[in-house]
Structure 1
Amino acid sequence: MDSHQRLMLEVVEESFEDAGIDPHTLKSDCGVFVGIGAMDYAINVIEAHHTNPYTITGISHCVTANRISYAFDLQGPSYTVDTACASSLTAIHLACTHIWNRECKVAVVGGCNTILIPEITIGFSVLGVLSPEGRCCPFSDNAKGYVRSEGWGSVILKPLTTALADDDHIYSVIKGSAIAANGFSGSLTMPLREAQEYVMHEAYNRFNLSKSLVDYVEAHGTGTPVGDPVEAAAIGSVFGSIRKETLKIGSGKSNFGHNEYAAGITAVIKTCLMLSKRFLCPTINYNYPNQNIDFKGLNLEVQTTRAPFLPNKLYRIGVNSFGFSGSVAHLVLEESPHRDYKTNRQCGWSFGGESEGEQILIPLSAKSKEAVDDLARKWLSFQHEGDALGVVAWQAMRRKHHDYRMVITAKSGTEFEQSLNTYFSRESIDSIIVGSSSTKQSKICMLFPGQGQQWISMGTQLYATEGIFREVISKCDAIFRNLSGWSIVNDAGIFLTKAPSKTATKIPVNSGTMIDEIEVCQPAILFLQIGLFHLLKHWGVKPHAVIGHSLGEVAAAYACGGMKMRKQL
């Protein structure tokens, strides 16, 4: 199998993990679009005469996208794109088009480039585009060409409204895109300023976007003596001429080299991270301005330092990508809408921190015991300044749980690390449980006990944090209030973290021992049991059988469908 296929499977898996999406739930809603073109592996295999039944699928570029669809059971549009160095940015444009046309709701977009044989490098060297010094220096006076590099990357695209509704982590928003070609010009491989200007204008004009609001352009910036002046002139003509402030430009090829078919996805990931982290990254290897570029006249400046974004300003960045065969592409990215994440509950400690708080469960899973151990070792050095419960909640609720599992209990970052170190030293430890899930689904029986289980804070945390539980309690309480004339929640204050604001005069009990009075505790226990039943059902825990004792017989009758909610109350 071509390493393109294997490594793209890995980065796509990581993208789904990062997005908190189980790909096996997407089916026909998800398309796959991959920029690819290098033929190194196929040339090697054919020349070595290693032909077998898997050779064709192993070397065909189209299979790179289709194998991703096959592995994750994605049934939407799936194909590869080859426009040379513009391949992965072209793939993003096509993926957006499919989403806008409602041919898929989610898209996996990636790009890959593998270097396995020297002949291609020799060809580019003869063409005169490679740096003899092994350094890429975009827009600099010492620019002599680029450095070839390998790369594999992928992103997940969704409509903004869907991503907001799903409470996804949004790195950035695609505001517009365009693709085109040079057409006939002085040379097939020579960049053309007019074509670059055209595709940039199209990306903004087609979507009614103001070019004056662009704060930075992530340029193709290969560091070639011909390419940089042409691209800088095009960027300056489109953006610099309509701005008062100098437009900052830069290129990730000074950092990563030119990973060719993956160059576009590399630039997009860099830009998304800049927008998410809210600062511009420096372009390195920049010495003095290229004398063939009129930076002052074009109103451009190369970004050479780390620059934080200004507060209360929404940043917009353009991304350029051009292929040596004449393809051109431009993408417009913008910061995601600001959202205030309000958590109803925190545990009071963080990974890598020393503070101590509430004990929580940290679930890890993988496809083998060795993989679980490897994952746990990575968590040993994991640090995050946010509350640990927020991190664990994402891990538990937004990622697929594999068959081999480990659960660690901890109440501080220090205790978490100590527990894992003890585990890896082969010592027995109660705070870590390791096992595997059974392929045979166990049958579940729910037992509903009788009176006597009540306590003052019963159900308050679930009522405050779980919408399903709170909704069921409210329905029960509404029926009970119509029958009795008073409310378990609002008058008795059961399930509330604070006492009712008004003195309840309708409750036929002494408020000092309210939860233990039969008029209060029996309906409260029933409410709790029904609420727990619906919450567990919402989480996918459904009973095969139910048992009730005493008062719990009423909830059991409801759980098995033998009694309606109003009837039992």
Structure 2
Amino acid sequence: MGHEYNGLEVAVIGLAGRFPGAGTIAAYWENLKNGVHSIQTFSEAELIEAGVDPQAVKSAEYVKAKGYLESGSRFDARFFDYTPLEAELMDPQMKVFHECIWEALEDAGYAAQVEQKLIGLFAGASPNHMWEALTGLSGKSEAIGHWAATQLVDKDYLSLRIAHKLNLKGPALTIYTACSTSLVAVHMAAQSLLNGECDLALAGGVTVTLPGKSGYVYQEGMILSPDGKCKAFDANGQGIVGGDGAGVVVLKRLQDAIDDRDQIYAVIKGSAVNNDGMQKSGFTAPSTLGQAEVIRTALKVAEVAPESVAYIECHGTGTPLGDPIELEALELAYQPAQKHACALGSVKTNIGHLDSAAGIASFIKAVLAIQHRQLPPSLHFQSPNPHLDVIGKGFYINDKLTDWEKTRGPLRAGISAFGIGGTNAHVIIEEAPAAREASAGREWQLIVLSAKTEQALERYKQNVEEYWHAHPDARLEDVAYSLQVGRKPFAYRAIALCNRTLAQPLRFSDAVLAEEKPSVAFVFPDFAEQSWEEGELAEIAKLCREEPSVQQVMAQALRLLNAQTAEQAAVSIAEQLCQPKHGLALRFALYYAIANRFREWGVKPQSL
């Protein structure tokens, strides 16, 4: 069975993220597939230096572990045109999320087209009461006024502030549904696209808590783990460990993405959101019926059979109450049988529970698993929780890296996120359709880079060179196109002329500070020489093959000069150039054709 589409599919065309132990999406995947436990354990000295109460640190119940975000305190304020004081006051979550949004747009290839596209933003952050308290006590907010400071400190301005700074003109909604926030954001972004409210939609979430290096007090019977490990679905699972992180995805209607030849990581087939209401023991408790119903609805919207879903990225908190309820809900919704081998996993075993960013961390993991056709291991699983009697009856815990083999139909996965308070979300994704074969591009390509500062440009050069060496199979044409069209131009610029077939290293030019409105002149060479060198003819023939518009101009010139048909003129341009009859005119035609091609590329001359 192949792909079957109903017109309601949404493509995932861009990814960005910062997670414990991983500052990039590539690093995140490497950690996931290699089973890296990214929870960091701190010394007493580190915690006290970070501002944790020394008495709490020395307590026997204090667990010195957290999913630490290395880049959580850094921010390129100048890039986003914030003053140093504004950056100092801004919630760290907003800082991280600004950068993730920009990186996601660049990954999708649309950072240069925010003016032309209607882009929506759906995102949420975690409550950050300590930051609000610190900022309020600092007195620095008085320098810009309480109202202006509030807009930098309050997490509920997250989407609005970023939409303003990046000129995003689609819907901008800040969402909060506790642990399910960012997966709910994915659902709402997809709905906005399908409703025609935007051309592109950004969705995700962020959590950065203070102090960055910290732990927590373990209390028996509560949701926090006694040993700093989340052991989802294991008999020894006793809770979660907190963590910081951020993730963003760029979404687009599938047919639009196919038509525009966008990169497609995966396809959202369907999604659903609901709330438990009162059908549970208390406000913070999970509900089997609520979770089962949201999963059933997502499957119905996706129009896929439950048995076609081979992997489920679970909420997977590792709590004695949450795990049995989640597995019971999955059994009710998916009704697995022995013949339906559905793998289960939880990214919380790797990076901890990221609160508002938990759902997007799970979503990106599942997208990467489909893209790479591998199921990463869910960690710390030795024997199933005795209350999980569905394990072995159609479901199994994927505790080692496994190649994801296609059995029937496209690879499909489900992702769950359940929030305190009862807002549940489930999303069904599947592998991307096969990309159309690209035509051969030019042998030589121009790699163009730009940045706001010379230092940033040097870092950019290093990043591109590292990518170049790490991806020897990358199409040079695609790399050049993305850097030319998908990146916003800035003042400091550098170029490299590249030919992959010559296996040459990238050699970038020195940085040049571009003028705001550079003056361009087209200068034709001397036409005194009427004869053509053999090498020139070969290059002209090649140029006509690679640039149809150049060939069209030359063919038109030959028709005018020789009164030939279009077919006759186009067949042997190089051969006819050897004839001295119209040498000067044809030389002029050639350079006219080249100048015309530059105009098509947007180079407008002020003089000729």
TM-score bin, normalised by smaller chain: 0.7 to 0.9
Q: Which residue of 1 aligns with 2:102?
A: 13
Which of 355, 369, 372 is 1:260 aligned to? 355
The reply to whether residue 484 of structure 1 matches residue 564 of structure 2 is yes
Q: Quick one: which of 128, 133, 143 aligns to 2:222?
A: 128
Q: Which residue of 1 aligns with 2:85?
A: none
Amino acid at match of 1:538: E
Letter in 2 for 1:114: V
**Given the superposition, is the C-alpha separation of residues 444 and 110 from structure 1 closer, same or farther in structure 2, using an over 3 Å criterion?**
farther
The one of 424, 447, 451 aligned to 1:328: 424
* Residues 1:94 and 2:172 are matched in the alignment: no
SS in 2 for 1:83: coil
- Select which of 59, 67, 80 maps to 2:153: 59
Structure-1 residue corresponding to 2:251: 157
Tell me how far 1:206 sits from its aligned partner. Answer: 2.7
Gaps of 5+ in 1: 348-357, 420-430, 496-512, 547-569
Q: Share of identical aligned residues, percent?
A: 27
What is the correspondence of 1:387-426 to structure 2 with a 5 Å cutoff?
387=474, 389-390=476-477, 391-408=479-496, 416=505
Change (3 A) 1:367 1:126: farther
- Rounded Cα–Cα distance in structure 1 between residues aligned with 2:434 and 2:232: 33
Asked if the contact 2:240–2:352 (Cα under 8 Å) also holds between the matched residues in 1, the reply is: yes
Contact 1:136 1:223 survives alignment (8 Å): yes
Q: CA deviation at 1:375?
A: 2.5
Higher relative contact order (CA 8 A, sep 6+): 2
Letter in 2 for 1:249: L
Output the amino acid matched with 1:4: Q
Q: Which residue identity does 1:457 align to in structure 2? A: A
How big is the shift at 1:367? 1.2
For the 8 Å contact 1:181–1:195, the answer to whether it is kept is yes
Aligned residue in 2 for 1:75: 169
Corresponding letter in the other structure for 2:134: N
Partner residue in 2 for 1:439: 516
Q: Return closer, same or farther for 1:282/1:447 CA change in 2, 3 Å cut-off.
A: same
* Alignment of 1:452 onto 2:530: yes
Counterpart amino acid of residue 494 in structure 1:
I
Q: Is the 8 A contact 1:99 1:107 kept in 2?
A: yes
Q: 1:12 to 1:472 in 2, by over 3 A?
A: farther
Greater mean alpha carbon deviation, residues 329-338 or residues 18-27: 18-27
Tell me whether 1:44 sits opposite 2:134 in the alignment: yes
Q: Name the TM-score, length of structure 2 as normaliser.
A: 0.76
Match of 1:201 among 276, 291, 296: 296
The equivalent of 1:535 in structure 2 is: 597
1:175 aligns with 2:269: yes
1:134-159 residue CA offsets vs partner (Å, 9 max, x unmatched): 01111111211111000111111111
Question: What's the CA shift for 1:402?
Answer: 2.1
In structure 2, distance between residues paired with 1:115 and 1:4:
8
Q: CA separation of 1:535/1:118 partners in 2, compared to 1, >3 Å: closer, same or farther?
A: closer
Whole-angstrom distance in 2 between the partners of 1:95 and 1:89: 10
Residue in 1 that maps onto 2:43: none
Asked whether the equivalents of residues 215 and 248 of structure 1 are also in contact (C-alpha less than 8 Å), the reply is yes
Give the CA deviation at 1:346: 7.1
Tell me the CA shift for residue 122 of structure 1. 5.6
**Residue 230 of structure 1: how far off its partner (Å):** 0.8
Q: Deviations over 1:277-335 (max 9, x none)?
A: 12111111111111110134642101112222325852011110000121100111111
Q: Alpha-carbon deviation of 1:482?
A: 10
Gap runs ≥5 in structure 2: 1-89
Query: Is residue 36–residue 82 contact of structure 1 (8 Å, CA) maintained in 2?
Result: yes
Match of 1:369 in 2: 454
Query: What displacement does 1:274 show?
Result: 1.3
Deviation at 1:485, TM superposition (A): 4.0
After superposition, the C-alpha distances for 1:394-440 in whole angstroms (9 at most, x for unaligned) are 323432232112334566798637x6xxxxxxxxxxx6322221123
1:43 partner letter = A
**For this pair of structures, how many residues does the alignment match?**
504
RMSD (CA atoms): 3.1
**Structure 1 counterpart of 2:579:** 517
2:414 paired residue number: 318
| From 324, 327, 342, the counterpart of 2:438 | 342
| 2:601 alignment partner AA | W
Distance 1:392 1:118 in 2: 39
- Alpha carbons 2:302, 2:428 under 8 Å: kept: no
- Report whether the alignment pairs 1:465 with 2:536: no
Larger radius of gyration: 1
CA pair 288-468 structure 1, distance change in 2 beyond 3 A: farther
The 8 Å contact of residues 33 and 110 in structure 1, kept in 2 or not, is answered as yes
